[in-house]
């Protein structure tokens, strides 16, 4: 694979990696995980964009701008519950590790307000610049965990506009039609396309 079609995704989350690979492969871009021994220390902030920007700066310094690759990518995501004014939001990874999906379902037991929203910010370092793409997906927390696909909160999240299945009951391609990540990755693809940066277009430089 041509290195100039490869984006290094600095993430510890294999679910995110797999979804990015599928979404960008259709566009001729290869996504590779960048392996590092220690997790990048995330700053504490209530703003996903701020966290993603900080992660990107750290990722680029670890990867050393990787001039032989097309870009370096990071993502910060969160799960925001209506009942708890957005919590866990930026604390979603910690809450998932500690409470898990069953814990979330227990705290919402008997609660009618089950609205939730996934948000993510993807940051990419490309042509010496940092660029960010956001995506969000509204839905409901299911009453029970359902499905085996996906990762994280997928078994308890039913996106609006779907057929009532949770993300974990969908294929990766189906999930991306609705998902925060699918929408942010589409913006990223459009960005490259607008700049004729697709691998078949000889890599025109950014104007």
Q: What's the Rg (C-alpha) of the chain?
A: 17
**Residue 92 sits in the site that holds ligand ITT (CB under 6 A):** yes
β-partners of residue 75 are 122
The answer to the question of residue 135 lying near ligand ITT (CB under 6 A) is no
6 lines the binding site for ligand ITT (CB under 6 A): no
Q: Which stretch in 60-68, 88-96, 139-147, 194-202 sits in contact with ligand ITT by CB under 6 A?
A: 88-96
Give me the catalytic one of 2, 47, 76, 190.
Answer: 76
- The residue from 6, 7, 8, 11 that contacts ligand ITT (CB under 6 A) is 11
- Nearest alpha carbon to residue 78 among 45, 127, 110: 45
Is residue 190 part of the annotated active site? The answer reads no
Instruction: Determine which residue in the list 152, 159, 176, 197 makes contact with ligand ITT, applying CB under 6 A.
Output: 152
45 binds ligand ITT (CB under 6 A): no
Rounded to an integer, what is the distance from CA 57 to the centroid of its chain? 17
Q: Do residues 9 and 76 lie in contact, with contact meaning Cβ atoms separated by under 8 Å?
A: no
Is the torsion defined by CA of 80, 16, 107, 177 positive or negative?
positive
Number of residues forming the site for ligand ITT (CB under 6 A) = 21
CB of 42 to ligand ITT, least distance (A): 7
DSSP, residue by residue, 7-27: EEE--S-HHHHHHHHHHHHTT
Nearest approach, Cβ of residue 80 and ligand ITT (Å): 10
Least CB distance to ligand ITT at residue 109 (A):
21
Closest CA to 40 of 10, 79, 8: 10
- Cα–Cα distance, 49 to 200 (Å, whole number): 31
158 touches ligand ITT (CB under 6 A):
no
- Residues recognised as catalytic: 76
Per CB under 6 A, residues contacting ligand ITT are 11-13, 16, 75-79, 92-93, 96, 118, 150-154, 167, 179, 181
């Amino acid at each position: 694979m041509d290195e100039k079609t490869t984006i290094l995704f600095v993430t510890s989350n294999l679910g995110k990696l797999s979804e990015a690979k599928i979404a960008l492969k259709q566009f001729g871009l290869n996504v590779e995980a960048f392996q590092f021994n220690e997790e990048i220390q995330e700053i504490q902030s209530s703003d996903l964009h701020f966290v993603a920007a900080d992660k990107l700066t750290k990722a680029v310094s670890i990867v050393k701008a990787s001039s032989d690759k097309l870009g370096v990518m990071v993502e910060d995501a969160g799960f925001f519950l209506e009942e708890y004014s957005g919590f866990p939001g930026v604390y979603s990874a910690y809450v998932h590790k500690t409470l898990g999906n069953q814990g979330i379902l227990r705290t919402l037991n008997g609660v009618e307000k089950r609205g939730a929203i996934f948000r993510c910010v993807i940051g990419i370092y490309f042509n010496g610049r940092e660029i960010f793409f956001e995506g969000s997906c509204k839905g409901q927390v299911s009453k029970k965990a359902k499905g085996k696909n996906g990762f994280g909160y997928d078994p308890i999240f039913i996106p609006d506009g779907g057929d009532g299945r949770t993300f974990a009951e969908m294929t990766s391609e189906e999930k991306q039609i609705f998902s925060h990540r699918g929408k942010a990755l589409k913006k990223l693809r459009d960005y490259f396309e607008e700049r004729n940066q697709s691998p078949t277009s000889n890599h025109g430089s950014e104007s």
